[in-house]
Structure 1
């Protein structure tokens, strides 16, 4: 279910009060100047890109060598129907922070949820991981498995993600529960439904819920991603490869203005080769190999 308490959806006065609570007075002063009288509509987030509540979805076109790659709209590319009924691996390859609320290094909790279709039964999936990043830098994540062996239905796959800015120092012990067992390696899924998954799914849900109850912690972004095999130009397509989820608004966006630089591992602007000024994640969808689980702890 879509989150309703994302920071960017709150009234300006509430956003500014939260920023002061976590010690980000510079951002609070900036937004106070940009939003006279605390009006909700027409708010200019400027460099505070964490205020955007939309999602822009792209696909990095595979390319040999170290040259920057083309990124295309995930709705206009061609799907791969051969993936129907297959099992896939979904990994988090990149998480880039241009700007997040607060000062200094940010601790961020990422949560991903979905459904795994097993012989007509829908099995709930939930994975959470913590990471840290400074502004204008990438987090120390690469190839982090989120779901291993997820089944692709006739209508594709779907999952949701959220990013939570963790400011409260009291949550260290709570978050440590996510650094062991299936959470550390990604949930491995068998070809039959697993009752043993439910306790781990419930634990992840409890940890995330407890973190969000702290007033200093707040949800910064939420997205719902569906990848299918439709020929429509409005539906995002499923195929193996890397998908980009940008926290931004589509109105003024063009994939022709940016490209993937494999050398720097960043999305850069065409005209000056500098990193884009947005927060984003990159997910990789790849074939699932049962042999990969030989060293993975199963639930």
Structure 2
């Protein structure tokens, strides 16, 4: 099944340094002040372009890969540190087959996004909702203001309530767009209105309004991602199933982490833990060392009528 966000190109996927430089100028990124494009073009032998690429290649927003992690539900009252595993290393909860689940956003952390300062980030989730013998694509968007180097002030933000899981599992997608264009602030304020605050509530029967709502939501995301001063930064696809294949990811209740990294070996989960008393992921050897990347953490829980 094709990706809902296939047409959205994140900045890390761009192979044109001139486009990246122009985008950073439009967004008035504090790390790339001055006439970057002129400096690139005036330096002979392509040296200016190489110097520019060296500057951007280690920016957290330039990575196009994601590493996934999983944190199991905490035992009531326990303050013991919790291990983090790759979702391929856990056991699937087969009781979730043909059931309904809730998806909530627990963390949106911005280590660094283009533009600097306070970021207006539009986060869009998409999934396949199993209805009878068919699947309908559903999506939900929300915007958050996040200071660079910090996390959004959210935990348990509802995304999908009562998402129906089929016998094969469920697939999630997510994209983030950093919105700097002032004319687009009105769109973001609409997403902050009360109808969008309670997540997308789904039923076990087909809902005629879902398809046009999803088309509008995805259309807005694509439009904003292409506008001047805006840029798509992250997108990932995570399929969760009930199989035991080595490289598959399993569906279970708990928290799933999607972290933007330069490559899949950048993070060794054995070196990191979640500390319930602090409410953060830290290095095993240092409570003050947190993940130095952009990441999203969402929660899967069983839907209760």
Shorter-chain TM-score: what band?
0.7 to 0.9
Partner of 1:266: 280
Equivalent residue number for residue 58 of structure 1? 69
Cα 1:170–1:272 change in 2 (3 A) is same
Is 2:8–2:225's contact at 8 Å kept on the other side of the alignment?
no
Instruction: Tell me if 1:286 matches 2:286.
Output: no
SS at match of 1:72: coil
Unaligned runs of 5+ residues in structure 1 are: 291-299
Unaligned runs of 5+ residues in structure 2 are 41-45
Query: Which residue of structure 2 aligns with residue 255 of structure 1?
Result: 269
Which secondary structure does the structure 2 equivalent of 1:110 belong to? strand
TM-score, normalised via structure 2 length: 0.86
Aligned-partner Cα distance in 1 for 2:33–2:11: 13
SS at match of 2:286: coil
Structure 1 CA distance for aligned equivalents of residues 24 and 274 of structure 2: 33
Hey, what's the Cα distance between the residues in 2 that align with 1:92 and 1:224?
16
Give runs of aligned pairs for residues 1-299 of structure 1, distance below 5 A.
Answer: 1=3, 2-3=6-7, 5-10=9-14, 11-27=16-32, 36-39=47-50, 45=56, 48-64=59-75, 65-180=78-193, 182-248=195-261, 249-273=263-287, 274-290=289-305
Higher mean alpha-carbon deviation, 133-142 vs 64-73, is at: 64-73
8 Å Cα contact 1:27/1:48 also seen in 2: no
Does the Cα contact within 8 Å between 1:17 and 1:28 map onto a contact in 2? no
- 1:293 corresponds to: none
C-alpha deviation, 1:155, in angstroms:
1.0
TM-score by length of 1: 0.88
Looking at structure 2, the residues matched to 45 and 155 of structure 1 have their Cα atoms a distance apart, in angstroms, of 40
Check 1:101–1:116 CA distance in 2 against 1; reply closer, same or farther (3 A cut). same
Deviation for aligned residue 1:25: 4.0
Contact 1:12 1:39 in 2 (8 A): no
CA contact (8 A) 2:7 2:222 kept: no
Cα gap change, 1:269 to 1:39, in 2 (>3 Å): same
After superposing the two structures, state which structure 1 stretch, 238-247 or 262-271, moved more. 262-271
Q: State which drifts further: 280-289 or 191-200.
A: 191-200
